[in-house]
Structure formats: structure tokens, C-alpha cells
Amino acid sequence: MLINIPQPDFDIGIIGGGPAGSSLAAYLAKAGISCVLFERETFPRPHVGESLVPAANRVLQELGLLEQMEAAKFPRKYGSAWTSVTSKKIYSHDFEGLPLDCRGDIRFDEREMQGDRNYTYHVDRAKFDHLLLQHARKLGATVYEGVRVNRVDFPKDDFPRIVISSEEQEVVKSVR
């Protein structure tokens, strides 16, 4: 006897289209895994957190985004400095217990860097997040903007359900 088991709409559901959500969606789509991402805002939207760390380069490279980062002309960042108004002293060991009168700085090329460049970027988050989200979509992720996740239900005998709303309408999507 053949039993018809209903399939979920997607394998993975992602809530939020910031850098974490959209990078995850891009990685999954690239690996051929079906995923859906819900973002409550419509991009581009403003956000704090503009100063990328060098570790971001590996992700950008793996997702094939470095060329677009260059094309976007984000200012390049070759190092970081932690300063204090009270002293010009250089802080020269680890960053444990950094006192107020110290200064610490680092040039990225003094350290081992992941990837082929000795800099990272200072980004406009509205532009950067939009670029990442569009990239995830381009790689095959299903992306909804202007859609808020209200809750996730875990019924006993069925797939988890993400309950979303958009313009006062509530919809249900199931995920594996």
C-alpha cells in the first residue's frame, strides 16, 4: 500500500535577513538545500555594525562576493586601533583588562590573514546587507522581505510550521 506523506515546503527556514541569515541562506542554496528566509523589513534598511573583521573575508570569498564588495567601493580597512583620550601609550600585549589610559593597534598584514587580501571593509550596512540578501536570492534561496515571523509551531505529528504575517495576512509554511 502506498502512503502519501505530505512534504514540507522547504528543508530549512531562516528568520531574519541580516548578515547571519543571508549568509546561511547563501551557503545552503549554494549546497543545493532548499531554504526560505523571512525578513520583516524591506531592504535596503539602516543598521549599525559597519566595521567588518578580517574573518569576514573568508565568508565573502566562499560565497563569491568579493568582486561585488570591490565594485561597491566600500572603504578598505587595513587595521584597527583602540585609543584613549588620556594617553598615547601603545598597548602591547593581549587585550585582557585594557586600562583607560592605553592605546592598542594592529595592522592586519602583521597577522595571518584568511584569503588573499590584507584588508577588510568598512561598510554601509544598508547597502552591504542588501547585497548579501540579493546574493542569497540569486544563488537560489527563497527570500521574502516585509514578512514578519510571528511564531514557530511544532505540531506532534507534522513538520514544524513557521507562522508569518505580511500586511495583516497570516500564512503558514512548513519546514523539515
Under the binding rule (CB under 6 A), the answer on residue 148 touching ligand FAD is: yes
Alpha-helical (H) ranges within the chain are 19-30, 56-62, 66-71, 125-138
Under the binding rule (CB under 6 A), the answer on residue 54 touching ligand FAD is: no
Give CA 27 to chain center in angstroms. 11
Under the binding rule (CB under 6 A), the answer on residue 18 touching ligand FAD is: yes
Nearest distance, CB of residue 1 and ligand FAD, angstroms: 41
Under the binding rule (CB under 6 A), the answer on residue 50 touching ligand FAD is: yes
DSSP state of 47: -
Q: In what order do the strands lie in the sheet with 35-39?
A: 12-15, 35-39, 142-145
Q: Which residue lies nearer to ligand FAD by CB, 101 or 148? A: 148
Q: Which residue lies nearer to ligand FAD by CB, 4 or 115? A: 115
* CA atoms of 59 and 115, how far apart (whole Å): 10
DSSP state of 87: -
Under the binding rule (CB under 6 A), the answer on residue 47 touching ligand FAD is: yes
Which of residues 14, 21, 120, 132 is near ligand FAD by CB under 6 A? 21
Under the binding rule (CB under 6 A), the answer on residue 77 touching ligand FAD is: no
* CA atoms of 120 and 1, how far apart (whole Å): 59
Under the binding rule (CB under 6 A), the answer on residue 51 touching ligand FAD is: yes
Q: Which residue lies nearer to ligand FAD by CB, 19 or 159? A: 19
Q: Which residue lies nearer to ligand FAD by CB, 7 or 49? A: 49
| 144 contacts 166 by C-beta, under 8 angstroms | yes
Whether the bond into 44 is cis, omega within 30 of 0: yes
Under the binding rule (CB under 6 A), the answer on residue 103 touching ligand FAD is: no
Residues near ligand FAD (CB under 6 A) are 15-21, 38-41, 47-53, 148-149
